[in-house]
Amino acid sequence: MNPTVSITMITRDRAGFIARAIESVLKQSFSDWELIIIDDDSKDDTEGVIRSFMSKDKRIRYQKNFPTLGISKSRNLGISMSKGKYVAVLDSDDVWTDNMKLKKQLDFLENNPDYVLIGSNVRIVDDKDGFIKNTEFKLEDIDIRSKMLKFNQIAHSTVMYRKESAEKIGGYDERLSCVEDLDIFLRLGLTGKMKNLEDMTTSYTKHRGGTSYAKRLSMAWNNLLIVWRNFGKYPNWFMAIFIAKLRVIKNLL
């Protein structure tokens, strides 16, 4: 049987976090879902944690990559395995904190066929669950578009999008090793409207110690590439390209 919503979760070496993520899915009031977990060749006990949940709930599906595929290929694998009309994303170190999250987003997309995706605000915490800040993303399509190229307005672990739309645009760009979420959101936004719930539905984990220099630089270069690709497609492109170049320069210094 095909569920309405397919939840894709990409993980690697998250044995200490993934149980919380899975539990937050199990607590959702909406129950017609499948959870597809793509394990990108974990070396810790991530698989053991996942299988402990699988033994209790048949809605959880598991795929282990060997060798590692990388983030974008793994995300596309998740889409290809999905049976639902909609795809929701939850990264394995994040948590859905609103038990009505799926229901709210599903109801919105079902009643607004001109919208292609919906996200929400998030609570950002450290890896000990210490509060950092709450986001204040733009909520309506016109405002999201106005700011999207400069600063991503959709948190990946909050998003729900139409599977058919994602397939039509070719899914995630497998050439990108990071910032793949901004890229797919911008391409989806060319096929339909975007929306954010004002609600804080998700707790996003920002790991202490930060991001490595190499990854920060890669993120900056990828962001510049993505902004450049969207010349003339979104508002405020010239300011966005200026900001993107500054990010690259900052990470080169």
pLDDT digits (tens, 9 = 90+) for 80-138: 999 999 999 999 999 999 999 999 999 999 999 999 999 999 999 998 899 999 999 99
Number of domains in the chain: 2
Are 231 and 108 part of one and the same domain? no
For residues 231 and 129, membership in a common domain is answered with no
**231 and 150 together in one domain:** no
User: What CATH number does residue 161 fall under?
Assistant: 3.90.550.10
Strand partners, 86: 5, 162
Three-state DSSP class for 62? strand
pLDDT (tens digit, 9 = 90+) per residue, 14-65?
Answer: 999 999 999 999 999 999 999 999 999 999 999 999 999 999 999 999 999 9
Amino acid at 234: Y
Q: Say if residue 78 is in the same domain as residue 102.
A: yes
220 and 102 assigned to the same domain: no
Same domain, residue pair 80 and 183? yes
Does 149 share its domain with 60?
Answer: yes
Residues 183-231 pLDDT 10s: 999 999 999 999 999 999 999 999 877 677 889 999 999 999 999 999 9
Please count the other Cβ atoms lying within 10 Å of the Cβ belonging to residue 56. 8
150 and 197 share a domain?
yes
Say if strands 160-162 and 60-64 run parallel, antiparallel, or are unpaired: unpaired
Same domain (yes/no): 173, 236: no
**CA-to-CA distance for 127 and 17, rounded, in angstroms?**
9
Contacts of 172 (CB under 8 A, 6+ apart): 72, 73, 75, 76, 79, 180, 183, 184
Residue type, 219: M
Give the C-alpha separation, 199 to 145, whole Å.
Answer: 19
Whether residues 86 and 169 share a domain: the answer is yes
Show the tokens assigned to 129.
């669950």
Which two structure tokens, joined as six digits, stand for 156? 């990946």
Which structural domain, as residue segments, surrounds residue 231?
212-253
The predicted model scores a pTM of 0.96
| CA–CA gap between residue 91 and residue 21 (Å, rounded) | 8
Q: Are residues 30 and 141 in the same domain?
A: yes
Residues 185 and 223 in one domain: no
